[in-house]
Structure formats: structure tokens, C-alpha cells
Amino acid sequence: MMSEKILEVKHLGKAFGSNQVLRDIDFSVSAGDVTCIIGPSGSGKSTLLRCLNMLETPSGGEINYHGTDITSKNVNVPEYRSKVGMVFQNFNLFNNMTALKNCTVGQEKVLKKSKEEAEKKALYYLEKVGMAPYINAKPKQLSGGQKQRVAIARALAMEPEILLFDEPTSALDPQMVGEVLEVMRDLAHEGLTMIIVTHEMAFARDVSKRVIFMANGIIVEDRPPKELFETPKDPLTKEFLSRFR
């Protein structure tokens, strides 16, 4: 049986002025899929995720969410983002709010939850990422790894259908990368649908159902991790992967 496609991207393109950053991007994501996106800096990975999260407007093509093209309809953007959440490289926490408040504000504003309900959910997810002892801490009192775990809890507290991660460990000191990857690994095993832009090749290989290699704004290869890492087909993929050996 085919599982239902949550997102289906067709011929997606994005230009900034004369700079064509994404061309003819085609892929789809079904429930429970973990998709990693790898590729050199400047290849368009962040722009792709930002289009999927409606932080950028595509120049062409379609992004179908349960069959509705979000680029052509009057979608409620905050509501859509509660379903297709995003975790950023630089955390993007609200610096004037505690860890707890960071995890309740979206639930109250967008999902119209009561403070009590929102706090209950926030505490559940902060506990899940190992941040229960820090609920009253402000971001400046936290390490990078702790901030990113709060950002993940904040995204989870919206109970999204898909979570997008844009290089979630790239801004972290090396000793903090593991704690964040461990949280993400747990989420993958629990069946959360995720699209993850990462340079952590071992992680991508372990957790993903498939790996997309992007270069120069196109998808060069989209294959199961074992195949892509062991028998890359394209010279660009081979060259890129050789940097990690």
C-alpha cells in the first residue's frame, strides 16, 4: 500500500533577481519519511526549505500540501507553519522569553490554546528533549545545544505533521552536536516526518529513508542512503562526498 503523500513538490523554481537559485525541483514526502538533503554551500538547500515553510515565495512550480498548492491559494500562513514547522541553524528563539514561554506562545497565538493546555504540552516536549530543568531560563543563559533543544521542543509543541531542519547542528560547538542529533534520532525512530538539511553524513546515513544531493539549484541524486553514499552516480556527488572521507 502506498502511504499518503503529505508534501508533493513539482517543478519548483526560485529566482532572486537574475539569480536562478532553484530549478525544476521535484520530490514528495510521505508520512514517517525522514529525508536528508545534502550538498555544497550555495546549492539552494536553505532556499528550498524556506519555500516549503513559506518564508520565500517560489517563482514557479507547485508545493502541494495534502493536494492543495500552497503557492497559489490564500493559505493561512501561521496555521500552515504550525503543520510544517521549522528548526533553524541559529535557533531563532525569542530572547526575551523563558524556555517555557518560547514553547507556549505559538500554541496560544496560533492554535488558540489556553495557557494551561499550552504549558502542559510545552513541559511534555521540554522534558522529551531533556530541557525540563531549564524551563525558566532565558536563551542567553543556555548553551547552543540547549538552545537548539528548546527550539526543537518549541516546534514539537505545535504538533506539526512535518518538521524541517536547516543545518540544526552547524552553529554548535562540536561537543554539543551529539546531544541534538540524539534528540533528532529519537524523533526519527518515533516516526516523525522530517526533512533535514545537514552536513552530518553518518547521521544522514543512519536515520534517513532517502538522501537528496543538491548542487547548483537542482536535485542531482535522490536515493536511499546506502546507495547514494556507496555508489554515487554523478561526478558532482562523488566530489562532494569525497570531502567527508
Chain residues binding ligand ADP by CB under 6 A are 16, 19, 21, 39, 41-47
Span near Mg ion by CB under 5 A; candidates 43-51, 135-143, 174-182, 234-242: 43-51
Q: What whole-number distance in Å separates Cα of residue 154 and Cα of residue 121?
A: 10
Confirm or reject binding of residue 53 to Mg ion (CB under 5 A): no
In the block, cell 545537514 appears at 198
Q: How far apart are CA 227 and CA 50, in angstroms?
A: 28
Residue 45 or 210: the one with the smaller Cβ distance to Mg ion is: 45
Q: Which of 35, 46, 102, 104 binds Mg ion (CB under 5 A)?
A: 46
CB of 94 to Mg ion, least distance (A): 22
**Integer Cα distance of 8 and 220 in angstroms:** 18
Q: Does 237 bind Mg ion (CB under 5 A)?
A: no
Residue 8 bridge partners (DSSP): 28, 64
Site stretch for Mg ion (CB under 5 A), options 45-53, 134-142, 151-159, 181-189: 45-53
Looking only at the bridges linking them, the beta strands covering 210-215 and 193-197 are: unpaired
Q: In terms of CB distance, is 150 or 214 closer to Mg ion? A: 214
Rg, Å, the chain Cα set: 18
Comparison of 22 and 131: residue with beta carbon closer to ligand ADP: 22
d(CA 222, CA 240): 15
Question: Which of Mg ion, ligand ADP, none sits in contact with 44, Cβ below 5 to 8 A by type?
Answer: ligand ADP
Using rule CB under 5 A, residue 104 touches Mg ion: no
Which of ligand ADP, Mg ion, none interacts with 47 (beta carbon under 5 to 8 A by kind)? ligand ADP
Smallest distance, Mg ion to C-beta of residue 100, A = 29
> Min. distance of Cβ 167 from Mg ion in angstroms?
6
Smallest separation, CB 124 to ligand ADP (Å): 32
Q: Helix, strand, coil proportions of the chain in percent (round to 5)?
A: 40, 25, 35
CB of 122 to ligand ADP, least distance (A): 30
- Could you tell me which residues are beta bridge partners of residue 63? 9
Q: How far apart are CA 85 and CA 70, in angstroms?
A: 15
Neighbours of 2 (CB within 10 A): 5
Interface with Mg ion, residue 35, by CB under 5 A: no
How far apart, in whole angstroms, are the C-alpha atoms of residue 188 and residue 201?
16
Residues in contact with Mg ion by the rule CB under 5 A = 45-46
